[in-house]
A = this chain, B = another copy of it.
Amino acid sequence: MIIVMKTEATESQVMAIQKHIRELGFKDHLIRGVERNVVAVLGAVYPELLDEFSVLDGVDSAVRISKPFKLASREVKEEDTIVKVGPLEIGNGRLVVMAGPCSVDTEENVMVAARAVKAAGAHMLRGGAFKPRTSPYAFRGHGEKGLKILAAARAETGLPIVTEVMDARDVDLVARYADVLQIGSRNMQNFSLLDEVGKAQKPVLLKRGMWATIEEWLLAAEYILSHGNRDVILCERGIRSHETATRFTFDITAIPLVKRLSHLPIIADPSHATGKWYLVPPIALAAVAAGVDGIIIEVHPNPDHALSDGAQSLTPANFEKLMGQVRTLAEAVGRPVAPPIEQPAKKAVKKAS
């Protein structure tokens, strides 16, 4: 941390700062400038110090010079983290595709969707059993019943499941069914929930808060990592800006920047970011070109009658078309699509009998 003194700061104010630094257990280092003096604070400073020093007498501002996240940082761990989800690897240089309905409605719809996305080449099934809704009057998900539907779809197709957990009390329940626990955008700083999934034995998909800086996002990952769960997948899903023509502003630059700052894998959610199905394919392709490790896409057999977010869901036919484009593009940028998931053995046995 660097403490910049005011041009008119007195010698005794500078000395008071130096004394305060030492009292807190840090080392100080004074640099005399042409216009003003600067005091460097050496040692393991924490973010809060910044504001605290910035209001002391004679201080103009305090400036942090190291990143506040450690475990999530590429400075601490240089090689890419590869998250294993059953037979799948996320972050190994091959593109992973997650797809499925926004919310789990009927078993039939989920089965149809699961078979369709599997047939088109998706590697994981997504679907919400617990749904965050802006209005208390909207459909909020089927809960455990929905989880069972997802599990049935996995049993048939072999696709691992990613599904959202919204409440620290539900982490155990959701972890019994899901392969990956999803933390939604609105819960990115629900610290109780982050603590709880940090203790779970399942990989976590951490969506970026629509208000969050990249640094705050990596700090949210740090919560999970600091509990010993090292399997965190980041997911860019759009931030708030002044633009209202799209639901959110997809921050494409976050992708290469996160890759540089962190070793964690990152995927893109163009469905929630854009809010319109016809914007999903171009943004999915853009994310692949920018270097994501995966994409997560809403697909519904009958979007016009979906219980939530039909407007942003692709039909199976549109998804299949997108998969073709993704395959070509992924190949072109040297990050080919991961091989398909094998049909579960159980099923093969049944056929044999």
Contact = CB atoms under 8 A, between A and B. Distances in A.
Interface in A1-56: 2, 4, 6-8, 20, 29, 31, 33-36, 38, 40, 42-44, 46-48, 51-52, 54-56
Contact of A283 (B65, B252, B278, B310): B252
Nearest to A78: B8
Contacts of A219: 134-136
Contacts of A254: 243
Interface in A228-265: 239-246, 249-257, 260
A214 interface: yes
Given A213-B244, A213-B245, A286-B289, A2 B55 contact: no
A274 interface: yes
Given A4-B66, A222-B135, A245-B215, A44 B34 contact: yes
Given A63-B2, A223-B136, A40 B43 contact: no
A343 interface: no
Copies in the complex: 4
A2 to B, nearest CB: 5
Nearest to A224: B136
A51 to B, nearest CB: 3
Interface stretch (A86-94, A110-118, A199-207, A324-332): A324-332
A71 to B, nearest CB: 9
Interface stretch (A154-162, A182-190, A344-352): A182-190
B290 A283 contact: yes
A138 interface: yes
A295 B19 CA distance: 36
Contact of A257 (B44, B253, B277, B279): B279
A276 interface: yes
Interface residues of A, number: 111
A253 B287 CA distance: 11
B135 A46 contact: yes
A322 to B, nearest CB: 12
Contacts of A291: 282
A285 interface: yes
A159 B226 CA distance: 38
Contacts of A251: 241, 243, 249-250
A187 B283 CA distance: 28
Contacts of A340: none
A290 B90 CA distance: 24
Interface of A: 2, 4, 6-8, 20, 29, 31, 33-36, 38, 40, 42-44, 46-48, 51-52, 54-56, 60-61, 63, 65-66, 68-69, 75, 132-140, 166-169, 186-187, 189-192, 209-211, 213-216, 219, 222-223, 226, 239-246, 249-257, 260, 273-279, 282-283, 285-291, 303-304, 306, 308-312, 325, 328-329, 331-333
Given A69-B135, A136-B191, 12 more contacts: A31-B40, A38-B65, A47-B135, A48-B138, A61-B65, A239-B241, A241-B249, A245-B257, A246-B253, A246-B257, A256-B279, A283-B290
